[in-house]
Structure 1
Amino acid sequence: MFLEKINLLNFKNYEMLDLDFSSSVNCIVGDNGSGKTNLLDAIHYLSMSKGAFGGGNTQHVLHKEDFFMVKGVFQAKDLDYEVTCGYKKGQAKVFKVNQKQYDKISDHIGRFPVVLIAPNDTDTITEGSELRRKFFDSIISQLDKNYLINLIQYTHHLKQRNSLLKQFAERNFVDRSLIDTYNHKLIALGKAVCDKRQEFITEFAPIFREHYQELTENKEITELVYQSQFLEEHYADDFRQALPDDLRLQRTTRGIHKDDYDFLIDDHLLRKFGSQGQQKSYVIALKLAHFDIIKNYTFMKPILLLDDIFDKLDDKRMDKLMRKVAAHAFGQIFITDARPERTQAVFEHIDVEKRIFTIDKGEVVDVMEDLN
């Protein structure tokens, strides 16, 4: 699978853009702030129906404009699929494939998968549990539609229950039969999500460990451990018995929205005791495992987006990654770099077709193709 072309209109700093891509390696070079990462974000938008770096739809609209459009053509299993996303301020986002609009945009997730490696990925390790949940939820949602549906419904009912808790606090009155309705929904959905997360991490962890050992030459023992209150024997009773705390704090204090994943290295938490080098290796191994498991499930190689990695990875880790590129372990790749000469040097001895796009202030000012 690969992205043949992309068209942008009023997307971030791009007023208008029309590009054809190589099915192998695409290098996007230019000064910082020129729009390199924004182009990767547009590709991510076409795949995942949202941007990769947070922010609502309005933040993806070009300054002083009121709409954007992103259109691309994917080739998957020898068929072309035109994907179009349009958004106008104050209106709902519209997503179409081959001119047919989705009833639910969530149905698009997983059809044209991408994997992004970006400079802020170590935040998944060092910051709060929400980022770790989002990382794994994004992968599982691409593989299991029922999981995504359960997660969306759980989040919806959780918001409603939290709203009720605030109302009860304001009125000094508790409708226990009403709250129990939401208890039942959240317990059932939460258990389904928990079971899938546990099943997934059991499958994902060995693939991750293999990549980490390859990157570090077997120097440390690593482990991924899924933590959830719903893994406990009396999870349903504990959820209901937490109501006094929920009322006092005006939010639901137990549930799968509190889950976390422990990233361990030699039996120690990586975020507390790991070096920067270990954290970088861990993140790359997580992303490569992400790539592999998507490929294993879909029988397609996801598009690989590498944002500014030459500046963030040392020579050793970069060499390991480029060896995989040279061995054609990946499919289509997009790489951004602020130093064109470095990109040329890195790929000089790698026998792959590549196309180099030079970007300046939201415009492509040069395209160079090397067919090798």
Structure 2
Amino acid sequence: MYLQKLSLVNYKSIASELFEFDAKINCFVGNNGVGKTNVLDAIYYLSYTKSYFNAIASQNIKHGEDFFMIEGDYLMEENRVDKILCSVKKGNKKVVKKNGKAYDKFADHIGNVPLVMISPSDRDLIIEGSETRRKFMDGVISQQDRMYLQNLINYNKLLTQRNALLKYFAANRTFDALNLKVYNEQLSDLSVRIYEKRNWFLQEFAPIFNQCYQEISNSKEEVQLLYKTQLHEKPLLSLLDDFLEKDRVLQYTSVGIHKDDLQFELNGYPIKKFGSQGQQKSYLIALKLAQFEFTKQLTGKKPILLFDDVFDKLDENRVSQVINLVNKDHFGQIFISDTHTQRTENVVKATQQSYKIFQLQ
């Protein structure tokens, strides 16, 4: 599977562009602000039906225009070509189509075109709160398990409804234990499924991540991923009972799998506090390369791999290790953005793979 053609109209800073890609490596080079990252983000959009950087669809429309359109032609198995189209018009709902047929639920598209993006903004995984790390974990699992994604959607809907009920109780100085119990039981049922899947994910994913990091760092450091959840201690129903009074005061649900987190450690210490910039970047690249390998093993498809300006702040040795990983036969199509044309060409030549370089102005 690979992306043959990409057509963009009014996407972010890009008025209109048409690209025809190499099956292996494609590079976008040019100064900052010319739209390199926007092209990669459009490719991401075709896989996830949303931007990597801005989830508000209308804010991705080029200034002064009232719509954007992204269209990609993918060569799939048995030489079948799938056309994926994503479009947004101000005041209208987003449209996602596959071969001319619109999806009723965007979730049905997730996993059809597996993709992994590596970007400087991934540093949010380390410096931001638990929600960012949960989204990473959920995104990786959802690419190969649509039932998990649906359970997650249902859980979040019920959570919103339970929170609204708590606010209603407070505003009207009333309380209905029976009504709340209905939400508690439904949330509990879904939380068990989500918790078990996340637990399984960490057990399978952590060894792959460890191997990727060792290859990038030449085995100089030890890393660990830990799954932090209140459900390790008690079932959700018990937690909801224990924290009922607190939830009534706060007017929202303070316990549950929506509070889960991933703990990133380097040599036994939090990488956020004790990792250098280069170590943190290596950690994040290892996470994403592990996502690639994990997805490939479970789906049997080679995800498209996007490298957005990742060679800054990596020393020459670590860049070399990353390229050695990418050069293995089990990688598919790769997209790279960089500000240094010569550096990019040197990197891709070293892979001895076919490539195209697009100089953006």
TM range (shorter): over 0.9
Please report how far the alpha carbon of residue 140 of structure 1 lies from its aligned counterpart in structure 2 after TM superposition.
Answer: 0.2
Matched, 1:276 2:277: yes
Please report how far the alpha carbon of residue 256 of structure 1 lies from its aligned counterpart in structure 2 after TM superposition.
Answer: 0.5
Aligned-residue CA RMSD in angstroms?
Answer: 1.4
Deviates more, 1:323-332 or 1:210-219: 323-332
Amino acid at match of 2:202: I
- Number of aligned pairs? 360
Q: CA distance change for structure 1 residues 327 and 166 in 2, over 3 Å: closer, same or farther?
A: same
TM-score w.r.t. structure 2 length? 0.96
Amino acid at match of 2:348: F
1:252 aligned partner: 253
Secondary structure (helix, strand or coil) at the match of 1:219 reads coil
2:64 aligned partner: 64
1:31 aligned partner: 31
Does the 8 Å CA contact 1:119/1:312 hold for their aligned counterparts?
no
Q: Distance in 1 between the 2:172 and 2:260 partners?
A: 31
Aligned pairs for 1:218-233 (under 5 A) are 218-233=219-234
Secondary structure (helix, strand or coil) at the match of 1:225 reads strand
Amino acid at match of 1:25: I
Does the 8 Å CA contact 2:25/2:348 hold for their aligned counterparts?
no
Does the 8 Å CA contact 1:7/1:19 hold for their aligned counterparts?
yes
1:52 aligned partner: 52
Aligned pairs for 1:20-169 (under 5 A) are 20-77=20-77, 78-169=79-170
Moved over 3 A (4+): 325-329
Q: Distance in 2 between the 1:239 and 1:313 partners?
A: 46
Q: Distance in 1 between the 2:247 and 2:217 partners?
A: 45
| % identity of equivalent residues | 46
Secondary structure (helix, strand or coil) at the match of 1:312 reads coil
Does the 8 Å CA contact 2:191/2:236 hold for their aligned counterparts?
no
Does the 8 Å CA contact 1:44/1:52 hold for their aligned counterparts?
yes
Q: Distance in 2 between the 1:95 and 1:73 partners?
A: 14
2:185 aligned partner: 184
Name structure 1 gaps, 5 residues minimum.
361-372
Does the 8 Å CA contact 1:204/1:293 hold for their aligned counterparts?
yes
1:367 aligned partner: none
Q: CA distance change for structure 1 residues 8 and 47 in 2, over 3 Å: closer, same or farther?
A: same
Matched, 1:194 2:188: no
Q: Distance in 2 between the 1:2 and 1:284 partners?
A: 22
2:13 aligned partner: 13
Amino acid at match of 2:294: I
Q: Distance in 1 between the 2:84 and 2:70 partners?
A: 8
Q: Could you give the per-residue CA deviations for residues 293-326 of structure 1, whole angstroms, max 9, x where no partner exists?
A: 1111111111110001122322121111112333
Q: CA distance change for structure 1 residues 72 and 124 in 2, over 3 Å: closer, same or farther?
A: same
1:369 aligned partner: none
Please report how far the alpha carbon of residue 4 of structure 1 lies from its aligned counterpart in structure 2 after TM superposition.
Answer: 0.5
TM-score w.r.t. structure 1 length? 0.93
Q: Distance in 2 between the 1:234 and 1:327 partners?
A: 44
Aligned pairs for 1:260-299 (under 5 A) are 260-299=261-300
Q: Could you give the per-residue CA deviations for residues 254-279 of structure 1, whole angstroms, max 9, x where no partner exists?
A: 01110011112222222222222322
Deviates more, 1:224-233 or 1:67-76: 224-233
